[in-house]
Structure 1
Amino acid sequence: MQRLNTLTFKQLRALDAVARTGSITRAADELGLTPPAVHSQLKALEENFGCSMLSRKGSGAFNETPEGAELLRAFDKAQAGLELAIHRIEALKKGFAGTVVLGVVSTGKYFAPGLVARLRHAYPDIEIILRIGNRDAIITALQDSAIDLAIMGRPPRDPPVESLLIGEHPHVLIAPPDHRLAKGGSITADDILSETIIVREPGSGTRILATRYLDRIGEGRPYETTEMGSNETIKQAVIAGLGIAMISAHTVTEELRTGRLRAIDIDGLPIIRHWFLLHRRDLQLTGAMRTVRSFIEQEKGSFLPRMT
């Protein structure tokens, strides 16, 4: 360890320069030193290791000894590692590298992977860690500082956040294509409330929106519900004829396009909510976080699914 503590980069650079040029004088010119200064560095190096690092026959050029060659190989690796570190540090300072944990509510899983792919293509040295959960889970992760940025609907009150609107988020009532409510015509609140309504689990933003809508049109009248834990399960349940459901249009674009599901045409629908990108107000954004935030802002919602 003592040898390592007294080893300096000046000594290693002197050894490298003399081994490459074969001359102390040429090495001194390259390093901007005097020949005695280069000789002094080499002498200190050899005294440290107790062996010769260079050999010379007569008046010929200097060549590294086996011990010197071993040390130079280590020096090359160290120098390459430090150059990489310098590059990484500059990238981190400029926001082109780092790690960002992005939390997305469950409904966003239909577009979040595509967004992450765009980010990785634009900034390959930024690692994006994607976390998916329902609204309550994402809010809890924000409170616990377990995520850096979040994409969700209505921003929470706790914790206080800075939010950026990134696009519209329509919600529709869906039914199977042969359902009586999918055939058009005049549809009333009673028609809706007489159906079994398939809803998400408590804590889901979609469930909160559906409950508010049904309570409003029904003026507080009761209705039958069936709870299911994912959008995929709800879609399959509606297709199977188990009921109707309010759901994010972004989760059913393909089913609506192919006719496997139909959006119920009734006044007041679709309900247009919005997607927000947000982070804790007290969070000190790293360069990578600022870069990701700016990228998503500049995309202007182009990564969101489009209703047909």
Structure 2
Amino acid sequence: MARLSGVTLKQLRALQAVARHGSLTAAGQVLSLTTPAIHTQIKGLEDAAGVRLLQRAVDGSGSELTEAGRTLLVTAERIDDALSQASANLRALAKGQAGRVTLGVVSTAKYFAPRLVKALSISHPDIDVALRVGNRTETIAGIERGAFDIAIMGRPPRVPAVQAVALGPHPHGLVAAPDDPLAGAPVQLDALFSQTFLAREEGSGTRILMSRWLDRIGDGHSYETIEMDSNETIKQAVMAGLGIAFLSLHTVTEELASGRLVELEAPGLPILRHWFMVRREDETPRPVAARLWDAIADFGPPAPQFLPPAADRMPAGEGP
């Protein structure tokens, strides 16, 4: 039977270090502890949990978490998030502020999120706003474990259940270098699927929407994809002529305006989605977070507008 009341932060941090670095030895090096000391912490944690938390890695090179270990790791990360938030709130209070609010945003939103944080700092100087950027999967994970007071993203997740407020339109389209053969005329499907698509990593909301759009118009037609880790890298690669990209048009505002990139005409594009502000439905927001929630809702659309003809828009129920 699990008896977790005696679990210590040192034990949980030892578990986190082994999970991140793959072995007791590596965990000890990161935490400035000996391997036997890490083993002792893990053993105490296993005794409290009543189950094994570590097992030998499949490749035999170190240790990995069991299913029970991964379950306890989620709790450890939530505790870390809560302690970090508490520490930040105490620092804010010491400076005479009302507290800290952590704002999580998906990677695509980083093009307007800093301006939003700046506006909030002007309108609410007594609140410390911390900005955290990640892809869709990371942002949802942060919402689930309570790492964010508020998150800004595309389609709200089904799990965890959230309250959501639409902030404004979020168009997506296909972009290419201005000298690309596809530029300047409607793109034919055969020519489109012969191209190399430069795309974000799996888990990105933009990647999910791109895959669904290509599957819909191509009826399962295969295509070549090169994965890149950021929108900035993708934009530079497109401008260099390495391929074309399906991106949020809010991420390429300046490049389209200057002519360094062009938007391609393709079936069903641009796709008009929306930005949403979300927070967990099962948690009562702190007063300081509720103030910023209302402030963000009052600011209106967060980024430049691209409003395609209604006939070209994908129905609002589709997309990631």
| Smaller-chain TM-score bracket | 0.5 to 0.7
Contact 2:103 / 2:151 at 8 angstroms: preserved in 1? yes
Aligned to 1:159: 160
SS where residue 252 of structure 1 aligns?
A: helix
Mapped to 2, the partners of 1:164 and 1:189 lie a distance apart of 36
Mapped to 2, the partners of 1:106 and 1:305 lie a distance apart of 17
* C-alpha deviation, 1:97, in angstroms: 2.4
Which is bigger in relative contact order (C-alpha 8 A, separation at least 6)? Answer: 1
* C-alpha deviation, 1:196, in angstroms: 0.4
Aligned to 1:266: 266
Aligned to 2:207: 207
Mapped to 2, the partners of 1:295 and 1:304 lie a distance apart of 16
- Give the aligned residue type for 2:121: R
Which digits, 9 at most, give the CA deviation of each residue in 1:104-139, with x for residues without a partner?
000000000000000000000101010000000001
Contact 2:169 / 2:305 at 8 angstroms: preserved in 1? no
* C-alpha deviation, 1:268, in angstroms: 1.3
Which digits, 9 at most, give the CA deviation of each residue in 1:137-182, with x for residues without a partner?
0011111111111000011111111111001000010000011111
| Aligned-pair Cα RMSD in Å | 1.9
Mapped to 2, the partners of 1:253 and 1:187 lie a distance apart of 21
- Does 1:252 pair with 2:252? yes
SS where residue 284 of structure 1 aligns?
A: coil
Contact 1:173 / 1:247 at 8 angstroms: preserved in 2? yes
Mapped to 1, the partners of 2:142 and 2:265 lie a distance apart of 37
The runs of 4+ residues in structure 1 deviating greater than 6 Å are none
Contact 2:217 / 2:267 at 8 angstroms: preserved in 1? no
Q: TM-score, normalised by structure 1?
A: 0.67
Mapped to 2, the partners of 1:242 and 1:133 lie a distance apart of 25
* C-alpha deviation, 1:307, in angstroms: 4.3
Mapped to 1, the partners of 2:175 and 2:167 lie a distance apart of 25
Aligned to 1:177: 178
* C-alpha deviation, 1:299, in angstroms: 1.1
Contact 1:253 / 1:306 at 8 angstroms: preserved in 2? no
1:51-90 superposed matches below 5 A: none
Aligned to 1:242: 242
Contact 2:150 / 2:278 at 8 angstroms: preserved in 1? yes
1:39-118 superposed matches below 5 A: 97-118=98-119
Number of aligned residues: 215
Mapped to 1, the partners of 2:101 and 2:215 lie a distance apart of 39
Query: Which structure has the larger Rg over C-alpha atoms?
Result: 1
Identical aligned pairs, as a percentage? 51
SS where residue 182 of structure 1 aligns?
A: coil
Which digits, 9 at most, give the CA deviation of each residue in 1:75-100, with x for residues without a partner?
xxxxxxxxxxxxx79xx9xxx82211
Contact 2:176 / 2:239 at 8 angstroms: preserved in 1? yes
- Does 1:134 pair with 2:135? yes
Unaligned runs of 5+ in 1: 1-87
1:211-230 superposed matches below 5 A: 211-230=211-230
Contact 2:155 / 2:276 at 8 angstroms: preserved in 1? yes
Which digits, 9 at most, give the CA deviation of each residue in 1:18-48, with x for residues without a partner?
xxxxxxxxxxxxxxxxxxxxxxxxxxxxxxx
Q: TM-score, normalised by structure 2?
A: 0.65
